[in-house]
A and B are shown apart, each in its own frame.
Chain A
Amino acid sequence: MGSWRNRGRRQPTFFRIFGRIHGWLWGVLAGIAFLGIGILEGQFTIIWKKAVMICLECIGIG
């Protein structure tokens, strides 16, 4: 982990608080934040509009 530990320095507050959080939790938090932005921007409406029509490209016609 961080070299500051080995040197016996006092841990910076940011690492003291957030350094214990697992990588996957960071990913989940980022995912929720991005999802929120996507929902606010109406991106899932665009996806829905595309998904409810037969995608001619997907079936090799368009």
Chain B
Amino acid sequence: MKKLRLIIQLCFTIITNGYAYGFVSGKIYQGKLKFACVPGLNCYSCPGAVASCPVGALQALLNRQGFTVPFGMLGFFFLLGSLLGRFICGFLCPFGMVQDLLHKIPVFRKRKRLPFHSVLKYGKYAVLLILVGIGSLFLFGGFAKVPAFCKYLCPSGTLFGALPLMAANEMLRSQAGGLFWWKFAVLALLLLLSIKVYRPFCQYLCPLGAIYGWFNRFSLVQVHWKEEQCTHCGVCERACPVGLTLTEISRSPECIRCGECARACPQGCLSFRKKESESHDQSAQYHKDKAQ
């Protein structure tokens, strides 16, 4: 499962960033595919990007003069979220893959979470509301609205967009100022933190994770639990990279559907495949019964 996930992550990143000429010329793809968005956080200013970034697209709609409901992106999030939930974070996000790979470097004692996780986990909702929502509509740009999340925080834009573009384009390199160095510092901090803590950006800052997490409870792709086979040994909870409990696995907005729990379970009672009437809803029922 671990290898399969890495292969899917790598293939998806290569396919969605397949415009190789862009990396050489320092220019970006300008074809029709950019009408569509990729599911994960992938900057559309990456020289290789063949489709748009969903957060950037949402902000582009919010940045318009006046206010219109961004139906196009709402539809995109509803459609993908209802089908996959945060499975997208676990399997289809290039920046998530980078953090996954960095976390494998065997240098520090690894942590699943930061201290004050129970408070910090709401950071991504704050970023979604303040930077993507309110920030894009009113604040930082004054009269000229700006995509505040992309401008002040997005580390994916710096890693996949700014660095390759500046490496190939002398003119852009000469224009790098304070804002670039701020974003570079954010990226460096997050990448360093990723070595110790599992996916800090996804857990605490990613607005896309906040959106998809909302769909986790009822999305089509779920990790199903066969209660009658479960011995409650706790192996799945120890294997979960984001430190979820058995009842939180799959249903919690924090679950990225990485499948580590299913891989670790010695009884094979956690699975992406739903079998007959067995479903993860049993976990909620079990704890309800236990409480009574």
- A21, B32: Cα distance in complex, Å: 35
Main secondary structure on chain A at its contact with chain B? helix
Total interface residues on A, CB under 8 Å, equals 36
A-B contact count (CB 8 A): 168
Q: Which residue of B lies closest to A61 (CB)?
A: B175
- A51, B37: Cα distance in complex, Å: 10
| A18 neighbours in B (Cβ, 8 Å) | none
| A22 neighbours in B (Cβ, 8 Å) | 218, 220
| A38 neighbours in B (Cβ, 8 Å) | 70-76
| B150 neighbours in A (Cβ, 8 Å) | 55, 57-58
Indicate with 1 or 0, residue by residue over A21-57, a CB within 8 angstroms of chain B CB atoms: 0111111101111111111010111111011111101
A27 touches B215 (CB 8 A): yes
| B158 neighbours in A (Cβ, 8 Å) | 59-60
B45 touches A55 (CB 8 A): yes
With contacts A31-B78, A38-B75, A58-B45 taken as known, whether A51 is within 8 angstroms of B56 at the C-beta atoms is yes
Give, as a whole number of angstroms, the nearest-CB distance from A57 to chain B.
4
Q: A62 interface residue, CB < 8 Å from B?
A: yes
- A50, B56: Cα distance in complex, Å: 9
Total interface residues on B, CB under 8 Å, equals 61
Give, as a whole number of angstroms, the nearest-CB distance from A24 to chain B.
4
Give, as a whole number of angstroms, the nearest-CB distance from B171 to chain A.
10
B44 touches A55 (CB 8 A): yes
Q: B15 interface residue, CB < 8 Å from A?
A: no
B83 touches A24 (CB 8 A): yes
With contacts A33-B75, A58-B154 taken as known, whether A52 is within 8 angstroms of B30 at the C-beta atoms is yes
Mark B residues whose CB is within 8 Å of A.
Answer: 27-30, 32, 34-37, 43-45, 51-53, 56-57, 60-61, 64, 68, 70-83, 146-147, 150-151, 154, 157-158, 161-162, 165-166, 172, 175-177, 179-184, 215, 217-220
